[in-house]
Amino acid sequence: MREKVVIVEDDPAALRLVTFTLESAGYKVIPAVNGFDGLRKAQEEQPDLLVLDLMLPGIDGYEICHRLRSNSAGSGSQVPILMLTAKSQQSDRTMAGQVGVDLYLSKPVSPEEITAAVHSLLSQRQEEHA
Amino acid sequence: MSEKTVSVLLIEDNPGDARLIQETLTQVGGGRFDLECADRLATGVERLTREPIDVVLLDLSLPDSQGLDTVRRVLEGAPAVAVVVLTGTDDNVLAAEALHVGAQDYLVKGSCDGDILARTLRHAVERGRLVRELKQRNEELDACIYTVSHELRTPLHSIWGFVRLLLAGKVQDEETQQEFLGIIDCECAHLAALVGDFLDVSKIEACRMEMRKEPLSLDELATKTVAAFKAVADEKALTIDTDLPADLPPVEGDSERLGQVLANLVSNAIKFSGDGGTIMVRARVEGPELVVSVQDQGIGIATEALPHLFERFYQVDSSGTRWRGGTGLGLYISRQIVEAHGSRIWVDSNVGEGSTFSFALPMHPSGTEDIRNDKAA
């Protein structure tokens, strides 16, 4: 079965880019365009991975991570999270680490890097579960 | 400006010196110096934390502190205060060091008369204020550069990504190729708009955006702007109507910059309107001013967003609309332009009922004359 990736991104061009890139790489993509939509889909769709923008309308990327990770009974609490954001300050990275982001990439990121990052996070997860 | 009362805190342990300085400042100051005294550094610093003081006149040899440490400790206690050293040691090296640790000036007891002392105190206050202002501007600039880089990264990310996909031959289907080229085109336009807005903001903030003061006809300006947006409005089946009285008096201002304001307001009205609505561009005389307004029947603006609309980089939450690509600078730039004309811009809006943005402009002196004549006739 194809691995499922929820993408939370409010910029339509960036959303189209990462959707196309990951679909071409064989993943099933579920897009979300704001924080609330993203949190709901991350909980309901039981994705194998979450690609998350930081600045989002509604609730931001940090808050989504925090809510997912702190809800131990929730379905998506251990899902690998890739943060893909235009923010580049060290303080943002540190904060991301604290709320449970597995990998933080600063835009611009090439499609090849995105695919490689998703692939690497998913294989790490498989090894842990093996 | 220099006639304002200056509050001075003298930190001096020698009662004779303190009295002399007090008398000198009373003589030359004519009541424009408000002097307080402290005979220990600790008492002086404690006083500084209670209420702001403009300038500290500081002896360097005090019972509880000696030398440059005295300057440092005053500035630790009150970083914003101007410090003028007044000491018995005539030493150029020490004077340079005192300035280096943050003092505004260094005077030697007995070698300066009252007038020089008074002037030095005033200049120290003014220099201190300028230094603080510069530091603050620098911090704002740092924050601004970070935001700018963040804003530029987003379109750059998409442009680069789609170009890589196309170059690598990952997009086989011709329709998708066209779609991606279209996105690249839009993102490039967005980048260009960002760069243009950033330049305008940098001009505004360096006070280099000069406004011409020329008589101009708003009727003409509005008609031109509306015509320029007709094609964009047609795409959403929007009608742009104008209500411009035939006898509008000329206003005074910069037609290019005011055209930019009007274009920004009309463009926003289009962006936030649903298909098929009407946008009204109005002008009317109100007292000594001419008020221009742009009214839409769009989505309106949430009450909590209203106070922030004209702030730099503020963007309303546009999820759920088809619109994107604002720079968060259009209304900020508009406000700066209108304010540079000595006037104001404001908004009335209700969610679901649309928004009306208005700005007022001073009438051209000859225009005001005409109206007075009309009324008298």
pLDDT tops 50 at residue B159: yes
Q: Is the peptide bond before A108 cis (omega within 30 degrees of 0)?
A: yes
Output phi, psi for B262, to 5 deg: -65, -40
Picking from B151, B157, B318, the nearest residue to A14 by CB comes out as B157
Is A107 close to B157, i.e. CB distance below 8 A? yes
Give A-chain residues touching B156 at CB under 8 angstroms.
Answer: 107-108
At B51 the three-state DSSP class reads: coil
Q: How many CB atoms lie within 10 A of CB A79?
A: 24
Structure tokens at B124: 């120290």
Question: In whole angstroms, what separates CA B244 from the centre of its chain?
Answer: 32
Which of A57, A86, A112 is closest, CB to CB, to B154?
A: A86
pLDDT tens, position by position, B238-270: 999 999 998 888 888 999 899 999 999 999 999
Q: Answer yes or no: is pLDDT of B12 > 70.
A: yes
In this complex, the residue of B154, B164, B186 whose CB is nearest that of residue A107 is: B154
Q: Cβ contacts of residue B100 below 8 Å, gap of 6+?
A: none
* Rounded mean pLDDT, A105-115: 95
Higher pLDDT, A94 or A74: A94
Q: In the predicted model, is pLDDT for residue A44 greater than 60?
A: yes
Taking CB atoms and an 8 Å limit, are B157 and A89 in contact across chains? no
pLDDT band at residue A127 under the 50/70/90 scheme? confident
* Nearest-by-CA chain A residue for B170: A24
Q: pLDDT at residue B370 above 50?
A: no
Q: Give dist(CA A91, CA A88) in Å, integer.
A: 8
Average pLDDT, chain B: 88
pLDDT digits (tens, 9 = 90+) for B353-368: 899 999 998 887 764 4
CB contact under 8 A, B183 and A16: yes
Q: Which tokens belong to B198?
A: 């950033």
Tell me if A112 and B164 make a contact (CB, 8 A cut-off): yes
Residues of A in contact with B157 (CB under 8 A): 14, 17, 86, 107-109
Contact A14 B154 (CB under 8 A): yes
Mention every residue, 6+ apart, whose C-beta is less than 8 A from residue B97.
Answer: B68
Q: Is the pLDDT of residue A76 over 60?
A: no
Which tens digit of pLDDT belongs to each residue from B165-187?
999 999 999 999 999 999 999 99
Q: pLDDT above 70 covers what percent of chain B?
A: 93
Q: For residues B64 and B13, what is the distance between their CA atoms, to the nearest angstrom?
A: 10
* Per-residue model confidence (pLDDT) at position B325: 56
CA distance B55 to chain A (A): 37
- Helix and strand numbers (H, E) in chain B are 11, 14
Task: For residue B85, give the amino acid letter.
Answer: V
Q: What is the pLDDT of residue B317?
A: 59
User: What is the C-alpha separation between A2 and B248, in angstroms, rounded?
Assistant: 67
Residues of chain B with a CB closer than 8 angstroms to some CB in chain A: 146, 149-151, 153-158, 160-162, 164-165, 170-171, 176, 183, 186-187, 317-320, 324
pLDDT of residue B319: 47
Q: Which of B164, B183, B324 sits opposite A110 (nearest CB)?
A: B164
Alpha carbon distance B130, B63 (integer Å): 33
- Residue A63: in which H helix or E strand, if any? helix A61-70
- DSSP string over B228-282: HTHHHHHHTT-EEEEE--TTPPPEEE-HHHHHHHHHHHHHHHHHTPPTT-EEEEE
Average pLDDT over residues A100-124: 94
> In angstroms, how far apart are the furthest CA atoms of chain B?
93
Q: In what order do the strands lie in the sheet with A4-8?
A: A28-32, A4-8, A49-52, A81-85, A103-106
- Chain center to CA of B374: 40
Over residues B286-324, the pLDDT tens digits come to 988 899 999 999 888 888 888 888 988 777 755 444 344
pTM across the whole model: 0.70
| Minimal C-alpha gap between A120 and chain B (Å) | 20
pLDDT score of A73: 55
Residue B374 has pLDDT above 50, yes or no: no
Under the banding of pLDDT at 50, 70 and 90, the label for residue B328 is confident
Q: What is the C-alpha to C-alpha distance for residues B81 and B73, in angstroms, rounded to an integer?
A: 12
**Is the Cβ–Cβ distance between B282 and B244 less than 8 Å?**
yes
Which chain A residues touch B if contact means CB-CB below 8 Å? 10-14, 16-18, 20-21, 24, 33-34, 57-58, 86-89, 106-112, 114
Which residues contact residue B264 at a Cβ distance below 8 angstroms, ignoring those fewer than 6 apart? Answer: B330, B331, B333, B334
Task: State phi, psi for B357 to the nearest 5 degrees.
Answer: -100, 135
The identity of residue B4, as a single letter, is K
Predicted local distance difference test score (pLDDT) of residue B279: 95
Given a cut of 90, whether residue B40 has pLDDT beyond it is yes
Per-residue pLDDT tens for A55-64?
887 888 999 9
Quick: pLDDT tens for A1-40.
799 999 999 888 999 999 999 999 999 999 998 899 999 9
Res B375: pLDDT: 41
Report the residue of B148, B150, B171, B184 to disrupt the A interface, i.e. the one with the largest count of A CBs within 10 Å: B150
Q: Do B162 and A109 touch (CB under 8 A)?
A: no
Place of tokens 């982001």: A101
Alpha carbon distance B56, B89 (integer Å): 18
Tell me if the bond preceding B245 is cis, omega within 30° of 0.
no
Give the closest-approach CA distance of B202 to chain A in angstroms: 22
Helical packing angle, B174-205 and B330-340, nearest 10°: 30
Distance CA A106, CA A89 (A): 9
Using N-to-C axis directions, what is the helix angle for A61-70 and A90-98, rounded to 10°? Answer: 20
How many Å apart are CA B38 and CA B48, to the nearest integer? 11
pLDDT at B76 over 50: yes
The pLDDT confidence band at residue B113, using thresholds 50, 70 and 90, is confident
Q: Is the pLDDT of residue B74 over 60?
A: yes
Over residues A30-56, the mean pLDDT reads 92
Q: What is the DSSP letter of B210?
A: P
Q: Which residues contact residue B281 at a Cβ distance below 8 angstroms, ignoring those fewer than 6 apart?
A: B222, B225, B226, B240, B241, B242, B243, B244, B262, B266, B292, B293, B294
Spatial distance between the Cα atoms of B144 and B20, rounded to a whole number of angstroms: 50
B165 contacts on A by Cβ (under 8 Å): 17, 20-21, 111
Cβ A106–B155 below 8 Å, yes or no?
no
B10 pLDDT more than 50:
yes
Q: What is the mean pLDDT of residues B192-206?
A: 85
* Chain A hits for B186, Cβ within 8 Å: 13
Residues of A in contact with B146 (CB under 8 A): 89
Mean pLDDT to the nearest integer, A86-92? 86
